[in-house]
Amino acid sequence: MASILPHFSAPTTGHENREHSFNPYTDNGGSTLGIAGSDFCILAGDTRSTSGYNINSRYAPKLFKIGGDDETGEGAHIVLSVVGFAADGQALKERLDSIVKVYRYQHGKPITVNACAQRLSTILYSKRFFPYYAHAILGGLDEEGRGALYSYDPVGSYEREQCRA
């Protein structure tokens, strides 16, 4: 067209180089840490939920009791800490909590921390192609009464550690 009408140029809209993309995740921030000792395991975390420079809430807990009897988690002996995308953290907590409760119902005894750690790894690995955007720390006391602390990456790789932030 340029050779036929050299004085003609198509109007520009400013959208020629725009790239459209979809990102389903939001990092809601947060900090948690865990310390395991000879007869204890401590997990702590903040309660602020952010999105960029905005504070969504000042009460968004990141620590959850797993396997308790009711909403308060009474009777639970395992604690899960999740930071990252808040909705994925909540979904991961609910899925693990229901699995632990079914285990207690089927076997008549609570799940061990080591078995729960392995099960959490399996849950995370099963979502490896569209993973939970959450970094997890699981803690409790093992069968010998020693502190057990496990840290995870989003696709289920985990290791037992003495401390993790």
* pLDDT beyond 90 at 52: no
Residue 80 phi, psi dihedral angles, 5° rounding: -115, 135
Bridge partners (DSSP) of residue 55 are: 50
Quick one: which of 46, 41, 53, 48 has its CA closest to 114?
41
The two structure tokens encoding residue 152: 């995870």
Residue 59 near residue 47 (C-beta atoms within 8 A): yes
Question: Is 6 within a domain?
Answer: no
Question: Is 102 within a domain?
Answer: yes
What percentage of the chain exceeds 70 in pLDDT?
A: 90
Window from 10-24, 61-75, 115-129 with minimum mean pLDDT: 10-24
Quick one: which of 101, 55, 103 has its CA closest to 75?
101
What percentage of the chain exceeds 90 in pLDDT?
A: 76
* pLDDT beyond 70 at 25: yes
Residue-number span of the structural domain to which 117 is assigned: 32-164
Q: What is the mean pLDDT of the chain?
A: 90
The whole-number pLDDT of residue 2 equals 53
The whole-number pLDDT of residue 21 equals 78
Cα separation of 63 and 86, whole Å? 12
Confidence (pTM): 0.84
Quick one: which of 83, 55, 67, 49 has its CA closest to 151?
83
* pLDDT beyond 90 at 150: yes
For 135, half-sphere exposure in the C-beta direction (CA atoms, 13 angstrom radius) is: 16
Question: Is 1 within a domain?
Answer: no
Question: Is 116 within a domain?
Answer: yes
User: How many structural domains does the chain have?
Assistant: 1
Question: Is 45 within a domain?
Answer: yes
Residue 44 DSSP SS3: strand
Question: Is 101 within a domain?
Answer: yes
Window from 23-27, 75-79, 129-133 with minimum mean pLDDT: 23-27
The pLDDT of 104-125, averaged and rounded, is 97
Question: Is 5 within a domain?
Answer: no
Give the number of residues written for the chain. Answer: 165
The whole-number pLDDT of residue 17 equals 74
Cα separation of 78 and 81, whole Å? 10
Question: Is 129 within a domain?
Answer: yes
Tokens 């308060």, residue? 72
CATH number of the domain encompassing residue 150 = 3.60.20.10
